[in-house]
Amino acid sequence: MATDYVIAKQVSKHFGHQQVLNQIDLTLPAGMIYGLIGPSGAGKTTLIKSILGMEAVDSGTVKVMDTVMPNRAVMAQVGYMAQSDALYETLTARENLTLFGQLMSVPKIKLAQMIDYAAGLVDLTSQLDKRVSGYSGGMKRRLSLAIALIQDPQLLILDEPTVGIDPELRQQIWTELNKLKDTGKSMLVTTHVMDEAERCDYLMLIRHGIALAEGTPAALKQQYAVDTIEQVFLKAGRMQDANDGNR
Amino acid sequence: MRTMAIVRRVFKQMLRDKRTLALMFLAPLLIMTLMYFLFQNNTTQVASLGVHHVDQSVVNVIDTKNVTIHHYDSSQARKMIKQHDLDGYLTQKNGQLTITYSNSNPTNTSLIKASLQSGLVKLKMKTLVTVTKKQRAALESQQAALKKLTAAQTQATVTKLKTAIAQAQARGDQATAEKLQKQLKQATATTSSSTQSAKATSYTTKSHYIYGSSDSTFFENFLPAFLGFFVFFFVFLISGVSLLNERTTGTLSRLLATPIRRSEIIMGYLIGYGGFAIIQTVLTVVFTITVFKIHLVGSIWLVFLTNLLLALVALTLGIFISTFANSEFQMIQFIPLIVVPQIFFAGLVPVDGMASWLQTIAHIMPLYYGANAMTAVVTKGAGLGDIGVNLLILVGFMVVLTMLNIVGMKRYRKV
């Protein structure tokens, strides 16, 4: 098996007249946390949905686990956490986990064990039998993450995973993500919180559907001769605007 | 496997939503009960009729249990109707009866019309009877005179014959005596036959009903149509809103990020909500039959089957229509457009009598087929063979809508 979990080549996509993705190249090898950073509306979610095969791309190809997407069967190997908490509020957390476990074809005998594992990871074990309607925003976010982990996938695609989560828990989650990485799993994480970007192994800056810059956080800082990723982003953005103006 | 996971989820969600459950199971019973009492009371409707200077004989025959008579001293019908809130006003000038209807309530107008008509017919019959009675008396007296005459004549013949027989016997002429004896017998026979008088025939009616009984009411006749309508309405609403919720909360998109097939989601919905539709149907049908003592001619299983198919069509239609709505409110807006018109083509108004373009519309309404089949089973005892075509058309609706739903989900995932 190839070590690259995701290979996207020259991916373009537009909605109406608006170009949402413009010739994006992305390669995600095994054992890496790949960060997609950019402002809201930059095209991060569209890129993620194209990789999942939920959106059709206009041109270019996406391969996940060496399979050309869209492909339904490959989806079982991808843990996905959506930007909005898509949970069944009248069901308990355990019932939500059970449902998605069954949909992901987790064997019956393994399911209870996986629920305990995933709930433990996000610190929800004691609240498992409470209905989701009684959950706080942060708890819902954590449950969404637990659902993404339910089939123990090699590839995790997390869309804004730490929105609404308090700093302490965010710390815990990043610790867990790093542990998962050490077991050979890969993660594609979108964020617009810049200090989170520093924790990624590799970054891609997206703005107006264009990949402005990419590289490790250290390399990027060096390239733009600044101290923080935030400054990298601001500088790259200004350069993009200047180029647009010259055109 | 994945379908069953969806089914289990639908069941759990429904069972926890007590209000929706109550709406689905109790609301039809409540509406049925209301309708039952509303249409039962229709028979005791009474219209009020004002009369002015009308012959007592006429008033007597109009005065029935459906019409109450009030006497007034004015010939101004319009004014009196308005003043006393009457449904009609009857005046007489010589032999001419003039009736004015308020017509604010067409039912009461027709009640008075019917009473007046039947009363006048009765009156005509009465005069006819008195005339015939007089004629009969005259006829009878004539007959009596005639009888007397014939009796006298016969008496004379008999005496004549008797003396002739006596003479013949005295002469020892046996043959002549026997011949005369025969004549005598004949003569006496004619007398007895002529005493039979013509008796007037009086007619009585005895009614037989092929379907239903003399107790059949409006409610009973249209019950099957309403039964189908309620199942259709509630299942449409609940399934449509559920899928809409799933779309707006993002869970549908989340479901489609798993390897589930689009058809598995739709099938899960069909089985899950179909299960509740079955319970609703059984509850409503059993309730109306046992509590209201509705006479069910056909098989109860066919009623269940028809209702189930209707529910499945409503389910797929609800899911389909929910694609065009962005909120629950927009879903409700489809009810007057999609659901309410169906009731007009369910048999309340005979479709055969409609304009041809309306008949065409009727044939694209699922409820038209469902209600027709139900009415046939409940009131005429139709079998599977009689309603088979209707059921097949319902299955057709269901299959086409299911296909559209499965294809429609491509909007959320390309495979």
What number is the ipTM of this complex?
A: 0.87
Q: Where are the domains of chain B?
A: 47-194, 216-411
Check CB contact of A97 with chain B, cutoff 8 Å.
no
Check CB contact of A102 with chain B, cutoff 8 Å.
yes
- Separation CA B399–CA B404 (nearest Å): 9
Question: Distance (Å) from the C-alpha of residue B414 to the closest C-alpha of chain A?
Answer: 5
Q: What ranges make up the beta strands (E) of B15-83?
A: 47-52, 67-71
Chain B residues with CB under 8 Å of A90 CB are 12-13, 16-17
Q: Is A179 exposed, middle or buried (0-12, 13-18, 19+ CB in 10 A)?
A: exposed
Contact A82 B257 (CB under 8 A): yes
Contact B251 A105 (CB under 8 A): no
Chain B residues with CB under 8 Å of A53 CB are 413-415
Q: Side by side, which strands form the sheet with A18-29?
A: A18-29, A4-15, A59-64, A67-68
Mean pLDDT computed over B77-96? 86
| DSSP alpha helix (H) spans, chain A | 44-52, 93-103, 108-121, 137-148, 167-182, 194-197, 217-224, 229-246
Contact B414 A70 (CB under 8 A): yes
Chain B residues with CB under 8 Å of A52 CB are 257
- Separation CA B31–CA B9 (nearest Å): 30
| DSSP alpha helix (H) spans, B172-261 | 174-194, 218-248, 251-255
Q: What number of CA atoms fall less than 13 Å from residue B372's CA on the CB side?
A: 22
Question: Distance (Å) from the C-alpha of residue B282 to the closest C-alpha of chain A?
Answer: 27
Comparing A127-136, B10-19, B40-49, the range with the smallest average pLDDT is B40-49
Chain B residues with CB under 8 Å of A102 CB are 1-2, 5
Check CB contact of B16 with chain A, cutoff 8 Å.
yes
Task: Return residues 220-249 of B near A (CB < 8 Å).
Answer: 249
Give the bridge partners for B183, in sequence order: none
Contact A75 B249 (CB under 8 A): no
Contact B259 A73 (CB under 8 A): yes
Residue percentage of chain B with pLDDT more than 70:
93
Element (H, E) at B14: helix B2-16
Q: Is the pLDDT of residue B180 over 80?
A: no
CB nearest to A53's CB, from B1, B250, B415: B415
Chain B residues with CB under 8 Å of A54 CB are 253, 256-257, 412-414
Comparing B2-6, B59-63, B374-378, the range with the smallest average pLDDT is B59-63
Question: Distance (Å) from the C-alpha of residue A202 to the closest C-alpha of chain B?
Answer: 25
Q: Are B393 and B368 in contact (CB under 8 A)?
A: no
CB nearest to B256's CB, from A54, A78, A95: A54
Q: Which residue of A has its CA nearest to B3?
A: A103
Question: Distance (Å) from the C-alpha of residue B402 to the closest C-alpha of chain A?
Answer: 20
Residue B257: phi, psi to the nearest 5?
Answer: -85, 5
Question: Distance (Å) from the C-alpha of residue A164 to the closest C-alpha of chain B?
Answer: 18
Taken as a whole, chain A contains a residue count of 247
Which of B325, B371, B364 has its CA nearest to residue B348?
Answer: B371
Mean pLDDT computed over B221-230? 84
CB nearest to A54's CB, from B1, B9, B413: B413
For the stretch A112-170, pLDDT in tens is: 999 999 998 888 999 999 999 999 888 898 899 999 999 989 999 999 888 777 888 88
Q: How would you classify the pairing of strands A59-64 and A33-37? A: unpaired
For the stretch B103-137, pLDDT in tens is: 888 888 888 888 888 888 888 888 888 888 888 88
Contact A86 B13 (CB under 8 A): no
Chain B residues with CB under 8 Å of A78 CB are 257
Residue in this structure with the two tokens 């993450």, named with its chain if needed: A145
Q: What is the CB neighbour count within 10 angstroms for residue B214?
A: 7
Contact A86 B17 (CB under 8 A): no
- Which pLDDT value is given to residue A1? 47
- Separation CA A115–CA A111 (nearest Å): 6
- Which pLDDT value is given to residue B152? 86
More confident residue, B348 or A29: A29
Sorting pLDDT into bands at 50, 70 and 90, what band is B255?
Answer: very high
Contact B413 A103 (CB under 8 A): no
Check CB contact of A130 with chain B, cutoff 8 Å.
no
Q: What is the CATH number of domain B47-194?
A: 3.40.190
Question: Distance (Å) from the C-alpha of residue B274 to the closest C-alpha of chain A?
Answer: 20
Mean pLDDT computed over A187-202? 87
- Which pLDDT value is given to residue B111? 84
- Which pLDDT value is given to residue B251? 92
Question: Cα angle at A64 between A204 and A81, to 5 degrees?
Answer: 65
Check CB contact of B21 with chain A, cutoff 8 Å.
no
Check CB contact of B255 with chain A, cutoff 8 Å.
yes
Q: What number of CA atoms fall less than 13 Å from residue B380's CA on the CB side?
A: 10
Q: Is the pLDDT of residue A185 over 70?
A: yes
Q: Is the pLDDT of residue B412 over 90?
A: no
**What domains appear along chain A, each with residue ranges and CATH number?**
4-246 (3.40.50.300)
- Which pLDDT value is given to residue B360? 86
Residue percentage of chain B with pLDDT more than 90:
24
